[in-house]
Structure 1
């Protein structure tokens, strides 16, 4: 089963952070800060894909224990063979912060994770994957962000679930852009999807994360009631027209930057 990981509880503060900003006024600054410190990359070779699997192992196996620890330190599954991947790098440290994949389907034998493990979560019959050509559907999954890039300097209270970041390690400007790594990953995934002919995208995520995404205009359509799998998660749908129609003007700037980077690497 699939889920995006931004770490419960708190989703590393993304809800509060996004809700607190004046989206249209601050989004241009976010784009500026994001591109100053963070670099989206398409994982187009074995070396980069291994880095994806190591990030996933760090988050899914070592930190959250959703999966068993692997001796080789890489988390992989049956869907990786039909997937494309991207990551976001922290430029000053040359460290990869996070990763995401887009699982595609070439034929009826290549199910999406949501179809294999969570079909009961899709209660909207009009947007069911079976209604569309297989090559036009995909699923965004295995989104993972390393702990160091979810933590905020303000989380100093004892017992904080996300902990305090090492103050000298990152600047205030860097800290302001870290909560938007997940948004950047979804934008990278959107680019990988549209550039490879995908028209219908599915994702399993926490409803509160979906609500947070609405603050920037990423309006996922909920397909049914939330179910319990590593917490409360629901099935969501989005397509290119929904994505672009609702994306707030300021965050379109960030998307265009990420789109340009990923599209050039895909080519």
Structure 2
């Protein structure tokens, strides 16, 4: 880790121990500590990881395989497939994105952007959860098909969700090989989900899509606020693969609240995504 960040964390930690972590000053220092961490990760994210728009058969297969590992093998939301590829009807009009670990070439996560083009193509949220959307003006049915999309099937393999402290927990739990990934690289991995959302957002803007929807757990939406991603909840929490609610966002809402350090991260990801031709 950057030595200046280590020094700052040490000083902040000492002051927090003196004034008390739950005091106003202690909480403020805790927030400063998190912000410094975020700036560090934003700066170094692109050093270890890069977005990939899955436009080839090989990269799409990689995306489907990661989804199978997470949604079929680990979470058991979907049945196991003989070909180890998790796919559905929406993939015919979807654009998958991946995050690739530069050092190993392994893929650290995937997400897809469902992009209907004609009237009979529905978003997953429309087909399965349309009654959960109670915000009348932001109902996807109000907009042209080409102007809406849905972020779905975000998946991060277990290997990239383990921290350095878990290295001895055993291969069955998806342990990271300490000789493969550095300490700095491991610090980036909890932000892979943010990188995936930013990749999807970059693809949205690259293709001039106006309205984006996502079904997610409220706690995930709250965690996204840490970096300033303010999804607007457009309906109540329902039971859909766990407790989830429908959310909405557009490019203006995304930029309005995004923290400066993560704006840099988004800009870097946008620059890389824009190298790919529009679908």
| 1:235 and 2:272 matched | no
For 2:101 and 2:107, locate their aligned partners in 1 and report how far apart those are by CA, in whole Å.
Answer: 6
More helix by share: 2
User: Residues 237 and 245 of structure 2 are in contact (CA less than 8 Å); yes or no, is this contact kept in structure 1?
Assistant: yes
Count of residue correspondences: 248
Match of 2:111 among 85, 100, 107: 100
For 1:95 and 1:142, locate their aligned partners in 2 and report how far apart those are by CA, in whole Å.
Answer: 19
| 1:32 and 2:52 matched | no
Gap change, CA 1:54 and 1:156, over 3 Å in 2:
closer
User: Residues 113 and 200 of structure 2 are in contact (CA less than 8 Å); yes or no, is this contact kept in structure 1?
Assistant: yes
RCO greater where, 1 or 2, for CA within 8 Å and sep 6 or more? 1
The equivalent of 1:174 in structure 2 is 185
**CA offset at residue 184 of structure 1?**
0.4
The equivalent of 2:259 in structure 1 is 248
In structure 1, the gaps of 5 or more residues are 1-18
TM-score, length basis structure 2: 0.83
Mean Cα deviation higher: 52-61 or 164-173: 164-173
The equivalent of 2:235 in structure 1 is 224
**CA offset at residue 210 of structure 1?**
0.3
For 2:82 and 2:35, locate their aligned partners in 1 and report how far apart those are by CA, in whole Å.
Answer: 46
**CA offset at residue 28 of structure 1?**
3.2
Gap change, CA 1:232 and 1:20, over 3 Å in 2:
farther
Match of 1:42 among 53, 60, 78: 53
| CA displacement, residues 65-98 of structure 1 (integer Å, 9 cap, x when unaligned) | 1111111111110000111111001111110111
The equivalent of 1:213 in structure 2 is 224
For 1:94 and 1:20, locate their aligned partners in 2 and report how far apart those are by CA, in whole Å.
Answer: 34
* Greater C-alpha Rg: 2
For 1:261 and 1:217, locate their aligned partners in 2 and report how far apart those are by CA, in whole Å.
Answer: 21
| CA displacement, residues 42-80 of structure 1 (integer Å, 9 cap, x when unaligned) | 111111111111111111111111111111111110000
The equivalent of 1:59 in structure 2 is 70
**CA offset at residue 229 of structure 1?**
1.9
Mean Cα deviation higher: 53-62 or 24-33: 24-33
Match of 1:126 among 123, 130, 137: 137
1:215 aligned counterpart, secondary structure: helix
The equivalent of 1:150 in structure 2 is 161
| CA displacement, residues 156-215 of structure 1 (integer Å, 9 cap, x when unaligned) | 898xxx776443432211111000000000001011112112100000011001000001
TM-score, length basis structure 1: 0.87
1:41 aligned counterpart, secondary structure: strand
**CA offset at residue 236 of structure 1?**
0.2
2:89 aligned counterpart, secondary structure: coil
For 2:75 and 2:37, locate their aligned partners in 1 and report how far apart those are by CA, in whole Å.
Answer: 33
